[in-house]
Amino acid sequence: MKRLLSNLAFIVVGNLSAGDQFGITVIGTASGAPAAETKYLFAHQEADPRFLTSIERIGPCKVSGPPVTGGIKIPWQLYPEVSVANHEEGSVVIELVLDPDWCVRKATIAQSTQYWRLDKVSLEFVMTVKYKPDPKLIKLKDGESTVVVKMAWGASQGKR
């Protein structure tokens, strides 16, 4: 699982606004099995393109298994080694757009950790899970079910 998100192919396909880069790629699932040709659209921060600001799945959900309930916790194995070495910690707040089958269709950073590696892994990870939040937390935004989640990165996660 440690290398689950490290082998991404990134292809820039165009710019929709000044500085925002978009690309399509394939990533694996939370179980470690590769998703079958799942494509994603990536948006990056204009001021620092290392910061990923959102990921959107293009096409049907390929994540199998039941949805996660309660909360989403990033496995400690995904804590970037460089982030551990640099003592990078923080919380990220992400807005998730959910499909009817609880797949995350789009994830957008609402509040950054201030560390691009942690934000990137957070966004990539939530795209590999199905998530069924408490119904009281679901909001309709532009006719779509959305939920806001907060995930923390801390020193105890980086201990291997």
**Most confident segment among 30-39, 89-98, 148-157:** 89-98
What counts of helices (H) and strands (E) characterise the chain?
2, 10
Question: What pLDDT score was predicted for residue 142?
Answer: 92
Q: What is the dihedral of CA 147, 137, 30, 126, to 10 degrees?
A: 20
The whole-number average pLDDT for the span 39-49 is 93
Q: What region does 142 belong to: left with phi over 0, alpha with psi -120 to 50, or beta?
A: left
Question: Above 90 in pLDDT, residue 111?
Answer: yes
The whole-number average pLDDT for the span 13-24 is 37
Q: Domain-by-domain residue ranges, the chain?
A: 11-153
